[in-house]
Structure 1
Amino acid sequence: MIELPDCDDQMTQVTDLSGRIFTGIAEKESADYCFHEYGRDEEAIKVCHYVIYISDIREIRLLPELKIIRASETWQQAGAYYVRIQAMAKKHHIPLRAEFDEHDGPDTKYIVVTDHDFPIATARMYPIDEQSMMIGRVVVLPEYRHQGIGTMVVNACEEWAEDLYYLKTVVESRDNKVEFYEELGYEATGETVDGETFRCIRMEKSL
């Protein structure tokens, strides 16, 4: 059985026995706590709302070079734009005028993930009413996908929305990403949004 490192409040990547990868700020949970909360008497690591028990872990890596930024400076926002241009606009032949729309304004909030200070993932947020925050343009560079980065980005957006006292987050998910958001606790409202590039499903989550 693997030994849990001292990873509390540190950027950590956990691979379970099935090969699934979870990335984010880790919390170690004692066997007593897990038994009380989840009914399983075993140590665990919690990453982005996921609880991974020690007997289910294949590998744990600390990733101090990976950082989540709430972009406030121009250079940080430029990182968000870079990821979107590289991973979305170029790949899907989306004109810049369509990729950067009226919601990319002075009041828009951006999450940027960097690896060795190089931008690798992003998302944007903007309020749609007094209680709801829209999360959109969730993008991860291709070489960093399937490593739990997208989940980490959405989780970072939700935490920021909570810090700003919003009660709900909303996404407009592409058809092929609905399952991803359902796993994160989102529910489809039944409303379909036809964009210029993708057909999307509106989904919501209470914080």
Structure 2
Amino acid sequence: MKIIRAATTAARAGAYYVRIQAMAKKYHITLEEEFDEHDTPDTKYIVILDDDFPVATCRLYAVNENTVMLGRVVVLPEYRGKGIGRLAVRSAEEWSAELGFTIATLESREEKVGFYEKLGYTADFSKVISGGTFRCIHMEKALT
């Protein structure tokens, strides 16, 4: 596996491909819903490649000067259960810390809260986000 910090159109296309194949297609999410106001030229993406083929991604963007939002953590179905999602999140955290962020936050689907707790995130069940497709829980972690 190769981890890249998407800096080119081709690398960003890899992130978009994974999101379309593993989420938009499966859950019938429209492109307008999947690609929101946080998908901009300034948004950063981790892309994980298997022999130059994109298999996982994670999006990150600033919430404020101290806090980064991680999201759209997606692994193609045939690559799940191999630690690749964990690798994507850890890579995004490392990059975020290098950029000077001290807090990582995310909105986890309810059924994935345990995954993020194992990575050191704390859930705030008083902050539930009910979207059109998923109910999500706000989670945070200090980046040290």
Establish whether TM, by shorter chain, passes 0.5: yes
- Correspondence 1:136 to 2:71: yes
166, 173, 185: which one aligns with 2:108: 173
1:147 to 67, 71, 82: 82
Structure 2, gaps ≥5 residues long: none
Moved more, 165-174 or 182-191: 182-191
Among 72, 93, 100, the residue aligned to 1:158:
93
Amino acid at match of 2:113: V
CA deviation profile, 1:138-160 (whole Å, cap 9, x unmatched): 00000000000000000000000
Higher-Rg member (1/2): 1
Q: Which moved more, 1:117-126 or 1:183-192?
A: 183-192
TM-score by length of 1: 0.68
What residue in structure 1 maps to residue 55 of structure 2?
120
Counterparts of 1:78-89 in structure 2 under 5 Å?
78-89=13-24
For normalisation by structure 2, the TM-score amounts to 0.97
Return the letter of the residue paired with 1:142: P
In structure 2, distance between residues paired with 1:88 and 1:108: 19
Q: Indicate which of 29, 39, 43 corresponds to 1:104.
A: 39
Q: Does 1:198 align with 2:127?
A: no
* Larger helix proportion of the pair: 2
Deviation, 1:196, is 1.7
Runs of 4+ with deviation above 4 angstroms: none
* Residue correspondences, number: 142
Residues 125-184 of structure 1: per-residue CA shift (max 9 Å, x gap): 010011000000000000000000000000000000000010000010000000000010
Deviation at 1:73, TM superposition (A): 0.5
Runs (5+) with no aligned partner, structure 1: 1-65
Distance (Å, rounded) in 2 between the aligned partners of 1:174 and 1:191: 12
From 86, 89, 92, the equivalent of 2:27 is 92
Taking the aligned partners of 1:115 and 1:156, their CA distance within structure 2 comes to 16
User: Secondary structure in 2 aligned to 1:80?
Assistant: helix
Report the identity percentage. Answer: 61
Shift of 1:84: 0.3
Given residue 84 of structure 1, which amino acid in structure 2 is its aligned partner? Answer: R
- Which deviations, in whole Å up to 9, do the C-alpha atoms of 1:79-126 show, x marking residues without a partner? 000000000000000000000000001110000000000000001001
Provide the aligned C-alpha RMSD in A.
Answer: 0.6
> In the aligned structure 1, how far is the partner of 2:134 from the partner of 2:22?
15
Secondary structure of the residue aligned to 2:65 is coil
Per chain length, whose mean CA-contact separation is higher, i.e. which structure has more relative contact order (CA < 8 Å, sep 6+)?
A: 2
One-letter amino acid of the counterpart of residue 176, structure 1: E
Distance 1:139 1:196 in 2: 18
